[in-house]
Structure 1
Amino acid sequence: MREWFAEYLEALNRHDLAALRELIEPGVRRAHRPGGVEAWVSELDELYRGFPDWKVRRIQLVIEDDRIAAHLRGSGTHAGSYRGIAATGRHVNTAEFVFCRLGNGRITEVTGSDDAELLRQITA
């Protein structure tokens, strides 16, 4: 599962939405967010358009049975519109805590951080 998660992070950092679709179950359940892979990919697409240099790095990874808990750092420069906020040129750096369940090599459930801290950094 460590190799699988490394592949997932590489796809995130390449902004490879097609590869991410293959790593996420079509009917993925997401806590406090619209379900389904297309909703998730749409949010990532908006993030990548707003932060074209967006990168994620792993700080800590815990694996137990079919679950992954990850502490990640996301960062990038606000160079395009994001959530209706015009580019500010600000560099942001956020902590992310993600909890996933995998089935058949795909994320079937996920919960974790939202974009509140990212939004605070571009609107403060």
Structure 2
Amino acid sequence: MRAHYLDYIAALNARRFDDLGAYVADRLTYNERPLTLAEYRALLVEDVRRIPDLHYDVRQLVVEGETVASRIRFACTPREPFHGLEPTGRPVVFDEHVFYRFASGRIAEVWSLLDLDGLRRQLAAR
């Protein structure tokens, strides 16, 4: 499961969004919201459109059965508003804490928490 998850992250970093079906179920829930694979893909594509240099840097990874917990670091420069926050043109660093539940080798549930307070502080700093 560890290698499979890291392959998923590698696909995201390589912008191989057409490969997501190998890692993500046709229907999943994201923070309790039901999504199709196409809708999940669209969310990821939109993040990259807003933040072209978005790179998923896995800092911590715990795998237990079909559950994966990960802390992902993002060091990037938002070009468009992101989660309601206006970009400044300066680079920012923030983390995502995310849990995944896999079913039959594909992501079926995602619980994601972004450090928006840290991001907000960086965008507000002059």
- TM-score, normalising length: structure 2: 0.81
Aligned match of 2:16: 16
Instruction: State the partner residue of 2:97.
Output: 97
Distance 1:48 1:2, change over 3 A: same
Distance apart, 1:83 and its partner CA: 5.7
State percent identity of aligned pairs. 31
Q: Equivalent residue for 1:58?
A: 58
Gaps (5+ residues) in structure 2? none
Check whether the contact 2:101–2:108 (CA below 8 A) recurs between aligned residues.
Answer: yes
Shift of 1:22: 2.9
Report if aligned partners of 1:49, 1:81 keep a CA contact under 8 Å in 2. no
**2:43 and 2:118 mapped to 1: Cα distance?**
14
State the Cα RMSD in Å: 2.4
Q: Distance in 2 between matches of 1:46 and 1:118?
A: 21
Alignment match, 1:120: 120
> Equivalent residue of 1:113, what SS?
strand
| Structure 1: stretches of 5+ with no match in the other structure | none
Provide the aligned length of Structure 1 versus Structure 2: 124
Asked whether 1:5 is paired with 2:5, we answer: yes
